[in-house]
Amino acid sequence: MKLLFNLLLFVFLLLIQTSGIQSQGMTPWDVAMTEIVSAAAIDNQSGYVAFIRSTPANPLESNTPPSSSLHIISLESGEIRDVELSSGVSGLSIRPGHSGFTFLTRFEDDQSNSIAQVCVKSGEVTRLFQFNTNIAGYQWNPDGERVAFMARLPQKETQPQLPYVPEIFEEGLVNQKAWVANVNSTWPDIKKMKVSGSTYLIEWSPKGDKLALSAAPTPHIDDRFMFQRVRVVDPTTGNVINEINNRGKIVQITWSPDGTRLALLAGDDIHDPIAGRIMMVSSTGGDPENIFSDFEGKFEQIEWVEDDQIQVRTSESTASIYGTINTDGSNYTKIIDEAEMAINRFHRAPNGDAVFVGSTPRFPNEVFLYRSGSRVLERITHHNEWLKDRHLGEQRVVSYLARDGKFEIDGMLILPKDYQQGQRYPLIVMVHGGPEAHYSNGWLTNYSMPGQVAADRGFAVFYPNYRGSTGRGIEFITSSQMDLSGAEFDDVVDGVDFLIQEGIADPNRVGVTGGSYGGYATAWMSTYYSDRFAAGVMFVGISNNISKWGTSDIPEELFLVHTKQRLWDDWLDNLKRSPIYYVDKAQTPLLIMHGKEDTRVHPGQSLEMYRHLRVRKPDLPVRLVWYPNEGHGNIRASSRFDYNLRMLEWFETFLLEEGGQLPSSELKFERAGITD
């Protein structure tokens, strides 16, 4: 009897393994239909959490951006309530002294958005305040009745002099201003803050009697990136009362509970590539000081919770941490240390509870609850439940020594779903942009990152955090300055060599892809290092550093945090750091894709790469794909799906097929995994 039972059990398990249910991997259609959580907030008094979900459109029906929706979870019952809105939602927040959540949305037939509030029990939505143009961001005064917000005044309409209207480049731009209003205010009662330039950050003091804000000289992107300055204003008069001498990038301002100091999440100086340091300064003015200059990581988010303590979210290489640090930079304490989670944002309640948006190697962004005093995160949302039926490749952290011996380089590796040790596999190298960015050990699959879809098709996918990446401290991120395409891209090739030595990667079947600076890396690998790469997919990438400087919207950022010397001081050096300079070495089939409205990396960068290859290497497979109405990265459903299919087909053609030929320009849906 026992023998018969074991035999039946064996047959049952065999049927499961061979039925295809467990072996089904991720498809492009899965990527196109993936929902993610983009923001979350907690109201511990009412016992509810609100979150915003991003849902993509069907790419076969509509080329539109994802829609956003608002949802509320009861922490007691776990019940989720959908909030009915007529448009998308952003700016999720808590209104002091009031139950419920506030947010920005546009009511039906309105021309501008409003600050609205939802009742957590009934789901009823109430309009609280509307300006005559769109509100870009807001923050509640501690009294819960006044609100500081940012908006632009409408431009005056003028009668055209001719039967057409030309575009006057970079003229007539309107500054974004800060305003203070009571929720019941009408136009004459709304106070404009008297700060010159364009405002981007606002933060009330704990007593609500002052307002700290940051403003750049103009609304140009370069000024926003590099030249925001912090000012403290009197909200009743709008006058500036104190000036902070901060220099460089900044993304956050937070007040000490006693109102005497400001902590800025900002750059160490004007040459710091990121706003990832805690810079402390008196609220009466002065020069901010880095409280933890030796930190070999990046501060991602800060919140002052006690006079001598700040709550922090940090990145340390591929790991995400939630913890505390003293205001003098001492006693950095880790509360949540997630080696296999990318924590993207937290919202903390007064009692110490918090909610996080985070992903893991098994699923994209969800909401996690942290209860004060614990050391674990509880997952409270469950989207994309179909992922449980997908056979995913193993994701692991890898480290290797750079060729110059200066740094240990970290990264992630996704193995093919049926990986067998000792067998070599085609490898796709996914290079991140920036270079001031990094990969965390979370979900690493989307329309432009092959990830688990490539793993299903037999590829290994490598995500290197080369020098110049964030999450490794100041020395590491600044080590690539004044060395464009140098040691930073050598680090990427060293990672390929490491995976070859480990017996994982097939040296003859290595591909490379990436967007923006990762597109620059792809172009470099497809020319300078072309003998090492059998296929490339270049996205919104750089091909010519000379023309790039003259066509990008961030030339000063490029100078201050990357080259640290002017283009005209050494024209030849900039040319030699450009992929087009090495087109004679090109032997890598290259697919080039670019949004036609890109202002960060002008589409001409891709056109230059294409033209040089077509003229000088006429037999080399190369294709250029434009995406109308897309900018520096695709945001619309159909253009994302199109990109994903073309990228995958290119790698399959030139890394899996012998003697691959230029594929048809028509999309192939056979392996897209499209379902009803």
> What is the C-alpha separation between 345 and 39, in angstroms, rounded?
7
Segment 334-352 shows an average pLDDT of 94
| DSSP string across 61-130 | T---PPEEEEEEEETTT--EEEEP-SS-EEEEEE-TTSSSEEEEE--TT-SS-EEEEE-TTT--EEEEEE
157-171 residue pLDDT tens:
778 888 988 888 988
Structure tokens at 54: 């991003």
Q: Which residue, among 587, 609, 490, has the nearest Cα to 542 in the 3D structure?
A: 609
Residue 14 banded pLDDT, cuts 50, 70, 90: very low
The amino acid present at 218, given as its one-letter code, is T
Q: Which residue, among 150, 142, 289, 137, has the nearest Cα to 205 in the 3D structure?
A: 142
Structure tokens at 114: 């409003």
User: In the predicted model, is pLDDT for residue 198 greater than 60?
Assistant: yes
> What is the C-alpha separation between 433 and 449, in angstroms, rounded?
12
User: In the predicted model, is pLDDT for residue 22 greater than 70?
Assistant: no
Which of the residue ranges 92-106, 176-190, 357-371, 500-514 would you say has the lowest mean pLDDT? 176-190
Segment 80-104 shows an average pLDDT of 95
User: In the predicted model, is pLDDT for residue 666 greater than 80?
Assistant: yes
pTM of the model: 0.94
> What is the C-alpha separation between 599 and 553, in angstroms, rounded?
6
Q: Which residue, among 256, 275, 255, has the nearest Cα to 265 in the 3D structure?
A: 275
546-569 residue pLDDT tens:
999 999 999 999 999 999 999 999
Mean pLDDT of the residues in the chain: 94
User: In the predicted model, is pLDDT for residue 17 greater than 60?
Assistant: no
User: In the predicted model, is pLDDT for residue 379 greater than 60?
Assistant: yes
Integer angstrom CA distances of residue 672 from 29, 364, 625: 6, 20, 19
The amino acid present at 602, given as its one-letter code, is H
Contact yes or no for 602/551 (Cβ under 8 A): yes
Query: 221 in helix, strand or coil?
Result: helix
Q: What are phi and psi of 282, to 5 degrees?
A: -65, 145
Residue 187 banded pLDDT, cuts 50, 70, 90: low
Query: 33 in helix, strand or coil?
Result: coil
| Strand blocks (E) in 220-332 | 229-233, 240-243, 250-255, 261-266, 277-282, 289-290, 298-306, 309-316, 319-326
Radius of gyration, alpha carbons of the chain: 26
Q: Which residue, among 403, 586, 577, 573, has the nearest Cα to 490 in the 3D structure?
A: 403
Percent of the chain with pLDDT over 70: 96
Q: Which residue, among 573, 510, 572, 581, has the nearest Cα to 542 in the 3D structure?
A: 581
Relative orientation angle of helices 487-501 and 517-525, to the nearest 10 degrees: 60
Q: What are phi and psi of 476, to 5 degrees?
A: -65, -45
Residue 23 banded pLDDT, cuts 50, 70, 90: low
- Domains delineated in the chain: 22-127+340-390 (no CATH), 392-656 (3.40.50.1820)
Of 355 and 5, the structure prediction assigns the larger pLDDT to 355
What is residue 189's predicted lDDT score, i.e. its pLDDT? Answer: 84
Percent of the chain with pLDDT over 90: 89
**What pairing do the DSSP bridges indicate for beta strands 250-255 and 261-266?**
antiparallel
| DSSP string across 580-622 | GGGGGG--S-EEEEEETT-SSS-THHHHHHHHHHHHH-TTS-E
Segment 591-610 shows an average pLDDT of 98
**What pairing do the DSSP bridges indicate for beta strands 505-515 and 425-431?**
parallel
E strand or H helix that includes residue 342: strand 342-348
Q: What are phi and psi of 308, to 5 degrees?
A: -120, 15
Residue 671 banded pLDDT, cuts 50, 70, 90: confident
Contact yes or no for 536/525 (Cβ under 8 A): yes
Q: Which residue, among 317, 318, 254, has the nearest Cα to 281 in the 3D structure?
A: 254
The amino acid present at 641, given as its one-letter code, is F
> What is the C-alpha separation between 58 and 52, in angstroms, rounded?
19
For the purposes of burial, counting CB atoms within 10 Å of the CB of 99, is it exposed (0-12), middle (13-18) or buried (19 or more)? Answer: middle
Q: What are phi and psi of 62, to 5 degrees?
A: -150, 130
388-407 residue pLDDT tens:
999 999 999 999 999 999 99
Q: How many CA atoms lie within 13 A of 87 on its CB side?
A: 15
Residue 11 banded pLDDT, cuts 50, 70, 90: very low
> What is the C-alpha separation between 393 and 456, in angstroms, rounded?
7
For the purposes of burial, counting CB atoms within 10 Å of the CB of 468, is it exposed (0-12), middle (13-18) or buried (19 or more)? Answer: buried
Which of the residue ranges 338-347, 484-493, 500-509 would you say has the lowest mean pLDDT? 338-347
User: In the predicted model, is pLDDT for residue 240 greater than 60?
Assistant: yes
| Strand blocks (E) in 190-234 | 191-192, 198-204, 211-216, 229-233
* Cβ atoms within 10 Å, residue 610: 19
